[in-house]
Amino acid sequence: MTRSVTILGSTGSVGQATIDLIASAGRDRFEIVALTANSNAQALAAQALELRPRFVALAREDGYEALSHALAGSGIEIGVGAGAVCEAASMEADWTMAAIVGAAGLPPTLDAVRRGRTVAFANKEALVCAGDLFMAEAARAGTCLLPVDSEHNAIFQAMAGSRREHVRRIVLTASGGPFRTASREAMRAATPAGALAHPTWSMGAKISIDSATMMNKGLEIIEACHLFDLPHERVDVLVHPESIVHGLVEYADGGLIAQLGCPDMRTPIAHALAWPERLDTDVERLDLARLGRLHFEAPDPQRFPALDLARQAIAAGGGAPAVLNAANEIAVSAFLDCKIGFLDIADRVSEALDWWVHGPFSDERIDSFEDVLRIDREARRATRERIAVRAAG
């Protein structure tokens, strides 16, 4: 049976991996409804000419000319602007990959979730900002949410067939990133190139920096709380440099079930793409005898304060996780632009959380996605200002 598919963020690392899987599974199994990207008109057009979707959307309006030129005569409909990305997400499709990076993915991912059917969820920032609202919308619309993040996908698989009350805790593994063994002095001097050089995974720039600070794992703790309806105290983090064991579920009887595989996002994406079936892939097969041994260690909260910041945010609740995420997005982009140092990222996030949790806003209720977007805007503005003031001082 042909499955109709939309890919939000098709030009990114997860989006492209999804397309590669679809291409090798055979185009007769999938029909592409819509593809969306932020600004890369050329890459989006090349994907569209290959996959022949009905609609393509580019968030940046200034890409219209390049996109329409590249797709002239193809019969593929074009839209530009944030509204067009949401339009793509609202189109009828059996399966949607939500792989936009950052809170920018919130409105279109919400449209996909509200439309129903199946949403493969990679855009963790959207769940961090508005997890309760997303889970409620998915339940209301009868949408099946499939976790794509490798750890959450692993836990989803390790929980299959089990009853929730038998789960004692879940464990997210973390590679530890490029600075797993680095001193704080070395981290202070880290350059964007050094922080982007991830030892095991090949990913987009933002998540690579998040892996270096371990904020990625912090965001994943919050993501897991929502996806699996667990308090953060029952979501543990274990550093595992080889990135072979992706996640574990510990049961009441003391047994643990883990999911393993080579670090390649095509495996969790294939799982979500075919679920409840399985897809043949040509990913590297795991050879445990050749590997010989795997290593595990506790994360170091001193060198990686982002983990505790994320726990503080989910414990505070309300708008705090959205503030954590917004401040982190701004700080990561300032670091990539060489405007702040590596250790400043967690410091700016910590300041933003203090501003939120101890300031006059802490009691604000988060009842709607509009509330979340407002908090996101405010926290971005405040973080940008703090970065500018420090740069000037």
Q: Report the C-alpha gap between 65 and 352 in whole angstroms.
A: 39
Measured CA to CA, the distance from residue 116 to residue 4 in angstroms comes to 13
Residue with smallest beta-carbon separation from ligand NAD? 12
Smallest distance, Å, CB 220 to ligand NAD?
A: 9
3-state percent breakdown (helix, strand, coil) of the chain, nearest 5: 50, 15, 30
Nearer to Mg ion, 117 or 198 (CB): 198
Q: Is 211 in the site for ligand NAD (CB under 6 A)?
A: no
The answer to whether 147 contacts ligand NAD (rule: CB under 6 A) is: no
Question: Closest CB to ligand NAD among 271 and 357?
Answer: 271
Interacting span for ligand NAD (CB under 6 A) from 122-130, 228-236, 252-260, 357-365: 122-130
Q: Is 264 in the site for Mg ion (CB under 5 A)?
A: no
Could you say whether residue 111 binds Mg ion (CB under 5 A)?
no
User: What is the Cα–Cα distance from 169 to 252, expressed in whole angstroms?
Assistant: 9
Count of residues near Mg ion by CB under 5 A: 3
Q: Is 2 annotated as a binding residue?
A: no
Q: Is 81 annotated as a binding residue?
A: no
Is 267 among the residues that bind ligand NAD (CB under 6 A)? no
Give, as ranges, the residues between 11 and 40 that touch ligand NAD (CB under 6 A): 11-15, 37-38
> In angstroms, what is the minimal distance from the CB of 152 to ligand NAD?
9
| Residue 230 exposed, middle or buried by CB count within 10 Å (0-12, 13-18, 19+) | middle
d(CA 161, CA 289): 29
> Would you call 82 exposed, middle or buried from its count of C-beta atoms within 10 A (0-12, 13-18, 19+)?
middle
Spatial distance between the Cα atoms of 311 and 224, rounded to a whole number of angstroms? 12
Neighbour-count burial for 199-209, b at 16+ CB within 10 Å, e otherwise:
ebbebbbbbbb
Say if residue 40 carries a ligand binding annotation.
yes
Binding status of residue 270 toward ligand NAD by CB under 6 A: no
Which sign does the torsion angle of CA 144, 200, 302, 359 carry? negative
Q: Please, which residue, 44 or 174, has the CB nearer to Mg ion?
A: 174
**CB within 8 A of 337, min separation 6: which ones?**
none
Pairwise CA distance, residues 171 & 178, whole Å: 21
Other residues' Cβ atoms within 10 Å of the Cβ of residue 42: 13
Which of 87, 111, 125, 149 contacts Mg ion by CB under 5 A?
149
Window 315-354: residues binding ligand NAD (CB under 6 A): none
Q: How far is CA 236 from CA 146, 225, 261, 307, in A?
A: 21, 11, 20, 10
Q: Is 206 annotated as a binding residue?
A: no
Determine whether the annotation assigns residue 149 to a binding site. Answer: yes
Residue 361 touches which member of ligand NAD, Mg ion, none, C-beta under 5-8 Å by kind:
none
Contact status, residue 127 vs residue 223, Cβ threshold 8 Å? yes
CA 366 vs CA 15, 268, 322, 360: distances in Å: 30, 32, 10, 15
Q: Tell me which residues in 67-86 interact with ligand NAD (CB under 6 A).
A: 85
Shortest distance, position 317 Cβ to ligand NAD, whole Å: 22
Total number of residues that touch ligand NAD (CB under 6 A): 26
Following DSSP, what letter does each residue of 193-244 receive, concatenated? HHHH--SS----HHHHHHHHHTHHHHHHHHHHHHHHT--GGGEEEEE-TT--
Residue 194 exposed, middle or buried by CB count within 10 Å (0-12, 13-18, 19+) = middle
From the list 48-56, 98-106, 163-171, 315-323, the region that binds ligand NAD by CB under 6 A is: 98-106
Peptide bond before 276: cis, by omega within 30 degrees of 0? yes
Q: In whole angstroms, how close is the CB of 37 to ligand NAD at the nearest point?
A: 4
175 assigned binding-site residue? yes
For residues 45 to 64, the per-residue mask of contacts with ligand NAD, x marking binding by CB under 6 A and - elsewhere, is --------------x-----
Residue 12 annotated in ligand binding: yes
Closest contact distance (angstroms) between CB of 137 and ligand NAD is 18
Q: Residues in the site for ligand NAD, rule: CB under 6 A?
A: 9-15, 37-38, 59, 85, 99-101, 104, 122-125, 149, 201, 203-204, 206-207, 265
Residue list, annotated binding site for Mn(2+): 149, 151, 220
Residue list, annotated binding site: 11-14, 40, 123-125, 149-151, 175, 198, 204, 211, 216-217, 220
Residue list, annotated binding site for NADPH: 11-14, 40, 123, 125, 204
Q: Residues in the site for Mg ion, rule: CB under 5 A?
A: 149-151
